[in-house]
């Protein structure tokens, strides 16, 4: 088995894929692609992934991108029975995990990106009240999920926890305070206790947070 994951530590989706690989205890060859240096636009990477994004997985010639697709693929292709609960076999349980993954892809992460991308790449230095309110709304939804189950999609850890931790940790390092969301606070503490790759993810989130804060006016959060 030869797995190569093209990765940038500051990228939350990229760290989500790494967290799933760590959860599965997979031997993955990690190749860094520095988005800040635009290495994703090099011809050799464009040939591999014309969409030029990370993470990108190369599994013996099978190339896949989009972090949530990579996570579910890794569990199904390489997890075996031991790790099946990370992406459950039951249609209903899997549907809830998928819903949470789509929540991250369609609600939570886009609201984080709406704050951070203009600061990193478009010269903005402030965050509007509207964007902060939209982010708080997304965290309110997440807090509601976690009021019903210990983990994001179930009473056991799944790939949805990996995806959402990567997003949550990124905006925390920018300065967003999760204290008003007690179930999110408790969940994050559980992640720290048991999630493989938690500290590795934190390092990447700090890189991201520092990059944003270096361009952000003080007192935005």
Please report, in tens digits, the pLDDT of each residue of the chain (221 residues total): 689 999 999 999 999 999 999 999 999 999 999 999 999 999 999 999 999 999 999 999 999 999 999 999 999 999 999 999 999 999 999 999 999 999 999 999 999 999 999 999 999 999 999 999 999 999 999 999 999 999 999 999 999 999 999 999 999 999 999 999 999 999 999 999 999 999 999 999 999 999 999 999 999 99
Q: What is the CATH number of domain 3-82?
A: 3.40.30.10
Strand order in the sheet with 62-65: 28-32, 3-7, 56-59, 62-65
* Cα–Cα distance measured from residue 7 to residue 18, given in angstroms and rounded to the nearest whole number: 8
pTM (2 decimals)?
Answer: 0.96
Q: In 10 A of CB 198, how many CB atoms? A: 17
- Provide the β-strand partners of residue 28: 3
- Structure tokens that stand for 82 in this block: 């031991």
* Cα–Cα distance measured from residue 40 to residue 69, given in angstroms and rounded to the nearest whole number: 19
Q: In 10 A of CB 189, how many CB atoms? A: 9
Given the residues 2, 11, 67, 169, the one annotated as active site: 11
Using an 8 Å Cβ cutoff, are 139 and 184 in contact? yes
Give the β-pairing of 3-7 and 56-59: antiparallel
Q: What are φ and ψ of residue 57, in 5° steps? A: -105, 135
Active site annotation includes 11? yes
Instruction: Count Cβ atoms within 10 A of the Cβ of residue 76 and give its class: 0-12 exposed, 13-18 middle, 19 or more buried.
Output: middle
DSSP state of 157: -
The CATH label, of 1.10.10.10, 1.20.1050.10, 3.90.1200.10, 3.40.50.720, for the domain at 86-213 is 1.20.1050.10
Name 2's Cβ contacts closer than 8 Å, sequence gap at least 6: 29, 59, 60
User: What's the pLDDT at 2?
Assistant: 86
Name 70's Cβ contacts closer than 8 Å, sequence gap at least 6: 5, 17, 20, 55, 57, 64
- Let me know the angle formed at the C-alpha of 142 by 75 and 216, rounded to the nearest 5 degrees: 100
Domain boundaries, the chain: 3-82, 86-213
* Cα–Cα distance measured from residue 197 to residue 191, given in angstroms and rounded to the nearest whole number: 10
User: What's the pLDDT at 148?
Assistant: 98
């Amino acid at each position: 088995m030869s797995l190569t994951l093209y990765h940038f530590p500051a990228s939350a989706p990229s760290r989500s894929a790494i967290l799933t690989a760590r959860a599965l205890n997979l031997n993955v060859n990690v190749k860094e692609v520095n988005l800040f240096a635009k290495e994703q636009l090099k011809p050799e990477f464009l040939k591999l992934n014309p969409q030029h994004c990370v993470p990108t997985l190369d599994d013996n010639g099978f190339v896949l991108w989009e972090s949530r697709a990579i996570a579910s693929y890794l569990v199904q292709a390489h997890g075996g029975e031991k790790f099946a609960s990370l992406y459950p076999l039951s249609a209903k349980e899997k549907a809830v995990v998928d819903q949470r993954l789509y929540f991250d892809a369609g609600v939570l992460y886009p609201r984080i990106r709406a704050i951070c991308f203009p600061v990193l790449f478009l010269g903005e230095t402030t965050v509007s009240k509207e964007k902060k309110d939209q982010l708080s709304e997304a965290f309110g939804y997440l807090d509601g999920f976690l009021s019903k189950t210990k983990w994001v999609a179930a009473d056991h850890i799944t790939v949805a926890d990996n995806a959402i931790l990567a997003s949550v940790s990124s905006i925390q390092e920018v300065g967003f305070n999760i204290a008003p969301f007690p179930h999110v606070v408790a969940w994050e503490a559980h992640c720290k206790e048991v999630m493989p790759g938690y500290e590795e993810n934190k390092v990447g989130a700090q890189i991201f947070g520092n990059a944003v804060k270096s361009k952000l006016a003080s007192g935005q959060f």
